[in-house]
Structure 1
């Protein structure tokens, strides 16, 4: 299935580029589903597993196990990148996801925790591998759109998990529903099996960049020719060779070199790391992890909260689809700065709504605006931008930082709300978003329409 398909006037195989991007983005669907499925089923799981008085603690613990697993998974991916290509590592992650889904089927707290941890580890792997693989096999002209495709699949996973939980009982689940409830948590295994078969049967070439570092020139050129027309394939090969020279080797800098800030790595690592940190401090994963409870605290019941979550997520999906064709018109930096400002203003308005006890519908709408803005900017750009400016170990390091911050955000968000109140928590997010906008306006470099070789050449000149 790797032979060339009919081409348009473009210098690349448009159909194959999009098919490959959607196939690898299935990992992001799993990402979104795993994050969302526990959010709307917490009460059911707690009652089936008899958590009793420990319910609040166990809910926080189980919510935290996913980012903990993702933290270790992202570090592991940095080492595996030296051995295997992105395609093969995605397939290995699919296999681990299938095993984790089988473990989680057994209704017991220990197996549930083990399944959540290893599923989280796979989420960490996917968060690196999918964006890197897409970046390496996608022409620079459409690479910006691919970040939005990733976000679209994340949101689709969230929407699927939220919608399927609408059928669950509101207060508690009887033991007779335990098989059905835990089957919902095993669905990522079925999706991973589907992705595994697509890569095994349809897309048999590794990414050209990995092949150049680890295989022969001819093997790399064959992979490039499956994406680009013959006349342009040679140009792409020259860009890959330049990128190889800039990035030194298949994995770029080592972890030690990145931490020690060796020349050529400082600015790209700093900007990408802070992008990941600010993306987590925006409160997005805390909002997702506790969205049901948040809407309940606004004064409505569990079922209404579930419906509101599904509706908000549907709006986010539609907004991404609507904006997707217009993505190439805007640069990464411009979009990031402007949307961080919008997010900050939205949070500030939300603070006043909480302070003055506005109707819940206004708060829900503001949260929807905030989430939509995040999904059109920081959400997709953090992954596509870091995969553009970083080599493999750098990407793994920044992603592990992302998940490390996420652990504490998810763990302490409810504690913070109880300690200082929801309004002051939102005010803190507002300030952080404003600070992020200021930082990115000063230090971030625009990468629109630049190849990876050109991007790394620009960043290597700064400290």
Structure 2
């Protein structure tokens, strides 16, 4: 163990060491993506197995989002009371329980219950991963390391879709009996046990957040973590952290959110705004309902599913691009470019579907219109994956002060899941009126996002977490 650094000394930390710790925390994001996407290949089989109507089946699918919002809301409070690592362990247990419970469900109601349990784990993971990664990362690498959360999420989605396809290929259909006589769709959920157990085991090998340790009065342990993982002037950093957390009881950390306009601090409203706008531009419509779009373009159902997998790969690649750019370009420029790009792409989709020929109640894109829509939809995913997807999670992990980070992130993440639920459940109704209307709504919110970024988002690139204000991120200090 290295000796404690003297005041003013600068500690250098090997990047690989921090990457391994951040990647372990980001495994929660992988399970986040896997758990939300794994049901895609099982929906029809579940409906047949339990003989449910469309409304009840829709509830079973969407019930996880209810758990996500609740899990996100309470994760910050639990993290401030019991620590970041314990929240990871609780989430891992919930993922395992949900996977086994869904796989062995005997009816749609107990299946929905276990989906909610899994949602609680997803919600907790969506809060704790960005908060923890921000708190153990050197400032110069924080953006790239924070982006691992989004990379893990989209990778989890891809692996879920891939494992679903592999199981169906092996069993013949999702409803067919497979290993040990269990239907193939049940094995889709059981697969999640493996990464969930790995997540829980690895969580026991990483250190607790130094910000949490100092808040609990464990300064020696905190300095050890700062020395091994954060680096810099450890004495100064630990002193700065102490100044931002001392004198604040647990109750005070929660009540501090209730100051300001409409009961919340301005910075919390900015976090909520980022979260809601990330969802209100309709990204999950592309992932949840993309088959409708591609079939309108003229592809078969099987080809549409293949395109969905390709889209998930595109999301992974663009997230890697974001990782390479975020600490060089900065957060605000990426968000601005992303909002403008999404606005243009969604506007094109709106125009294509609003002017499409309607046959049997469904829009049919003819000639070049289909090609233009296909290109616009994929470019939209590129703009989202390289900007709003990862950057929002990075900002939520670093834009709040030490006093309120975990709790404020909980509020913002809960708002994000609520927005996800609203968009996912309203799309069928909007689409029944016309896909042009649906994409027109998302275009409007992309337009709002442009001005929201310009007016309210401040750059956080290269700043220490201790320099973050409670009311709003301050401008970047000039370089010396």
Q: TM-score, normalised by structure 2?
A: 0.86
2:44 aligns to what? 43
Give 3-state SS (helix, strand or coil) of 2:229's partner: coil
1:147–1:264 Cα change, 3 Å: farther
1:265–1:208 Cα change, 3 Å: farther
Which range moves more in the overlay, 27-36 or 389-398? 389-398
TM-aligned CA deviation for residue 62 of structure 1: 2.4
1:305 aligns to what? 304
Once the two structures are superposed, residues 323-362 of structure 1 have per-residue CA deviations (whole angstroms, 9 ceiling, x without a partner) of 4323211121111112101100000111222224245454
Matched, 1:381 2:380: no
Q: Which aligned pairs between 1:155-174 and structure 2 lie closer than 5 A? A: 155-167=154-166, 168=168, 173-174=174-175
Please, which runs of 5 or more residues in structure 1 have no aligned partner? Answer: none
Matched, 1:206 2:208: yes
Once the two structures are superposed, residues 63-113 of structure 1 have per-residue CA deviations (whole angstroms, 9 ceiling, x without a partner) of 311211101111221331232111111011101211111111114322321
For the 8 Å contact 1:43–1:171, the answer to whether it is kept is no
1:458–1:416 Cα change, 3 Å: closer
Which range moves more in the overlay, 236-245 or 398-407? 236-245
TM-aligned CA deviation for residue 372 of structure 1: 2.0
Q: Which aligned pairs between 1:304-343 and structure 2 lie closer than 5 A? A: 304-343=303-342
1:88–1:307 Cα change, 3 Å: same
TM-aligned CA deviation for residue 249 of structure 1: 5.2
1:416 aligns to what? 430
The one of 69, 93, 97 aligned to 2:91: 93
Q: TM-score, normalised by structure 1?
A: 0.89
TM-aligned CA deviation for residue 251 of structure 1: 7.6
2:224 aligns to what? 222
Matched, 1:364 2:374: yes
Alignment partners' CA distance in 2, 1:47 and 1:458: 52
Alignment partners' CA distance in 2, 1:250 and 1:21: 26
Alignment partners' CA distance in 1, 2:474 and 2:37: 41
Once the two structures are superposed, residues 198-233 of structure 1 have per-residue CA deviations (whole angstroms, 9 ceiling, x without a partner) of 122x32x2100000001321121122122145x732
1:237 aligns to what? 238
Please, which runs of 5 or more residues in structure 2 have no aligned partner? Answer: 4-9, 357-364, 476-480
Alignment partners' CA distance in 1, 2:43 and 2:370: 22
1:191 aligns to what? 195
Matched, 1:73 2:71: yes
TM-aligned CA deviation for residue 438 of structure 1: 0.7
Alignment partners' CA distance in 1, 2:290 and 2:44: 13
Q: Work out the number of aligned pairs and report it.
A: 448
Give 3-state SS (helix, strand or coil) of 1:38's partner: helix
1:83–1:323 Cα change, 3 Å: closer
1:263–1:166 Cα change, 3 Å: closer
Alignment partners' CA distance in 1, 2:286 and 2:398: 28
Alignment partners' CA distance in 2, 1:149 and 1:99: 25
Once the two structures are superposed, residues 405-459 of structure 1 have per-residue CA deviations (whole angstroms, 9 ceiling, x without a partner) of 22222122111211x2111110111111011111210121111111111122672
